[in-house]
């Protein structure tokens, strides 16, 4: 009996050593790079909620690797580590996450990072400079508030978002790719000079630009197809 009791204690101790005390994350749930800074793969497909910042190992992660969470249909909630810098290609492709907060350290959201996910809310932080091609394709997000630090919105970044009708483009945005948005009706530009665009809007009916910059926008090559719907902000 004593041996059985000791064996149970040993088993419990082993499990405790392999689980984070606060959130029950096991080292077998994930795969990290050698230096521990890249989350290469989340292996536990049964995970429904994950707080990376609460885990002493995962909070050091600076990059969510390519396809790290792709296809994890059970994952509904995730808190990213505050030290995160990059969200790689297809990192959250086809997941069931509903909302996400992007930490201030993140500079780039790579191609198709959240493509085909069920996101309905995303909160960007100052510091983000690039949202690459297809970053949020198919995500039904009704409100987008971009940070002033944003410089580039890639092709199809928010394509097939059927619920958003209006967006404000911050003053530092320099490039907007082909069909970056669909179903928009109103776009407001804050930049003194127009960004480089390649037919970024499909159904827009009104474009507003800063006072005194109407002719600058109308004469820009990329905006010539929108010349009849451009007007100054009131």
pLDDT-above-70 percentage for the chain: 90
CB 189 within 8 A of CB 210: yes
Q: State mean pLDDT over 21-46.
A: 91
pLDDT band at 17 (very low <50, low <70, confident <90, very high): very low
Q: State mean pLDDT over 28-47.
A: 98
- Who contacts 206 (Cβ-Cβ below 8 Å, separation ≥6)? 185, 186, 187, 229, 231
The residue among 229, 180, 220 whose CA lies nearest residue 200 is 180
- What pLDDT, on a 0 to 100 scale, did the predictor assign at position 24? 77
CB 232 within 8 A of CB 214: yes
CATH code assigned to 18-164 = 3.80.10.10
Domain borders along the chain are 18-164, 166-172+183-234
- What pLDDT, on a 0 to 100 scale, did the predictor assign at position 87? 98
* Residues facing 26 on adjacent strands: 19
| Average pLDDT value for the chain | 92
pLDDT-above-90 percentage for the chain: 89
Say what the pTM is: 0.90
- What pLDDT, on a 0 to 100 scale, did the predictor assign at position 43? 98
Give the single-character DSSP code of 77.
E
Select the more confidently predicted residue: 12 or 85: 85
The residue among 81, 115, 85, 110 whose CA lies nearest residue 97 is 115
Q: Which CA distances in Å does 111 have to 66, 92, 132, 166, 224?
A: 10, 11, 5, 23, 28
- What pLDDT, on a 0 to 100 scale, did the predictor assign at position 234? 84
Per-residue pLDDT of 207-224, as tens digits, reads 999 999 999 999 999 999
């Amino acid at each position: 009996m004593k041996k059985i009791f000791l064996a149970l204690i040993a088993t419990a101790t082993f499990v405790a050593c392999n689980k984070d005390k606060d959130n029950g994350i096991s080292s077998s749930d994930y795969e990290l790079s050698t230096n521990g800074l890249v989350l290469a793969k989340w292996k536990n497909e049964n995970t429904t909620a994950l707080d990376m910042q609460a885990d002493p190992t995962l909070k050091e992660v600076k990059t969510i690797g390519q396809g790290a969470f792709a296809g994890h249909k059970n994952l509904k909630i995730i808190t990213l580590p505050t030290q995160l810098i990059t969200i790689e290609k297809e990192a959250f492709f086809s997941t069931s996450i509903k909302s996400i907060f992007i930490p201030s350290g993140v500079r780039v959201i790579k191609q198709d990072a959240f493509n085909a996910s069920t996101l309905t809310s995303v909160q960007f932080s100052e510091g983000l400079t690039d949202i690459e091609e297809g970053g949020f394709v198919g995500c039904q997000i009704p409100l987008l508030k971009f940070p002033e630090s944003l410089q580039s919105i890639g092709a199809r970044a928010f394509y097939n978002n059927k619920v958003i009708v209006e967006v404000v483009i911050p003053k530092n945005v320099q490039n907007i790719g082909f069909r970056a948005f669909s179903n928009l009706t109103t776009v407001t530009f804050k930049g003194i000079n127009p960004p480089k665009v390649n037919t970024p809007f499909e159904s827009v009916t009104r474009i507003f630009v800063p006072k005194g910059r109407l002719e600058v926008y109308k004469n820009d090559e990329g905006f010539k197809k929108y010349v009849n719907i451009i007007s100054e902000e009131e």
